[in-house]
Structure 1
Amino acid sequence: MSNKAVINTDKAPAAIGPYSQAIKAGNTVYFSGQIPLDPGTMELVSEDFETQARQVFKNLSAVCEEASGSLKDIVKLNLYLVDLAQFAIVNQVMEEFFSAPFPARAAVGVKALPKGSQVEAEAVMILGD
C-alpha cells in the first residue's frame, strides 16, 4: 500500500508527456515543471516574458489548490530561464504571488524549454505546517 497520490487539475495545463502535474507523498507534494501554457488551449499565453512568468505562477497555484494547499505552502522553488537577463522581472512577478517568508529557490539558465517557453517552475510543497 502506497501513500502516493496523483494530483491533476484541468485548471493547469495537462501533462505533455509521461508525467503527472504533481505527486503527493505523505504531506509533501512534488510538482512537475509548469510552463506558461493556457490550460484551455495548451498554447503559450504570450511571447512576452512577464506575461509568461505570471502564467507559470497561476498554473503552479492551480495545482497547489488541487492538492489542498497554496503557494504559501511551497518550501522549494526551482526556476528555469532561457535568458538570465530576465531575472529581475521574474523576481518582481514572483512577489505578486509569494510573500515572506519566501520559499528556498534556485534560478537556472537553460538553453531551451518545452514549447518555446521562456520560463518554467517546479516546486516542493509541504501541507499542514
Structure 2
Amino acid sequence: MSKKCIHTEKAPAAIGPYSQAIQKGNTIYVSGQLPVDPSTGNFPSDHIEDQTRQSLTNVKEILQQAGATLEDVVKTTVLLQDIGDFTAMNGVYAEFFKEECPARAAFQVAALPKGAKVEIEVVAVVD
C-alpha cells in the first residue's frame, strides 16, 4: 500500500520539503498548518483567535481535498508561541470541534515559522 500526497490550492503551499498531507491507507496525516491565508500569503491578523481560525480552516481544506472532514480527526497537536493564548485559542478550536472531540496535545514552543502565534497538525482516519 503506497502513500498518497494530498495538495490543495485552498491551503498554503508547503514552505519546505514536506507535503500538506500524506494519506496511507485510511489514515491522513496533515502537516502543521500555520495561519497563512492562501489568497494573500499573509496572516489574517496578529490576534490568536484569527490565526487559530485560519490554521483550522487550512486543515479543513486539506482534509476536504482528501475526501475527509473534521469529524474524521482523531488527534490534534496545537503549538502555541505563548501558552497564555491557550484560552483564546481553545474558544476558536471549539467552533471547529463540537462533539466527540479528538484527542489533543497543546504546548508552548520557543518560536514558530514566520512568527506565527499558532500551528496545528492533525491525524484523521476515514472509513
Deviation at 1:41, TM superposition (A): 2.0
The runs of at least 4 aligned residues of structure 1 exceeding 6 Å deviation read none
Match of 1:78 in 2: 77
Deviation at 1:40, TM superposition (A): 1.6
Deviation at 1:80, TM superposition (A): 0.1
TM-score (structure 2 length as normaliser): 0.97
Task: Report the residue type matching 2:111 in the other structure.
Answer: A
Match of 1:33 in 2: 32
Deviation at 1:111, TM superposition (A): 1.1
Deviation at 1:53, TM superposition (A): 0.6
Q: Secondary structure at the match of 2:62?
A: helix
Q: Secondary structure at the match of 1:32?
A: strand
Question: Structure 2 unaligned runs (5+)?
Answer: none
Question: Structure 1 unaligned runs (5+)?
Answer: none
- C-alpha distance in structure 1 between counterparts of 2:90 and 2:49, whole Å: 10
- C-alpha distance in structure 2 between counterparts of 1:23 and 1:97, whole Å: 22
TM-score (structure 1 length as normaliser): 0.96
Match of 1:121 in 2: 120
8 Å contact kept, 1:72–1:99: no
- C-alpha distance in structure 2 between counterparts of 1:14 and 1:42, whole Å: 9
Deviation at 1:102, TM superposition (A): 0.3
Identity %: 48
Task: Tell me the number of residue pairs that the alignment of Structure 1 and Structure 2 aligns.
Answer: 127
Task: Report the residue type matching 1:104 in the other structure.
Answer: A
Task: Report the residue type matching 2:94 in the other structure.
Answer: E
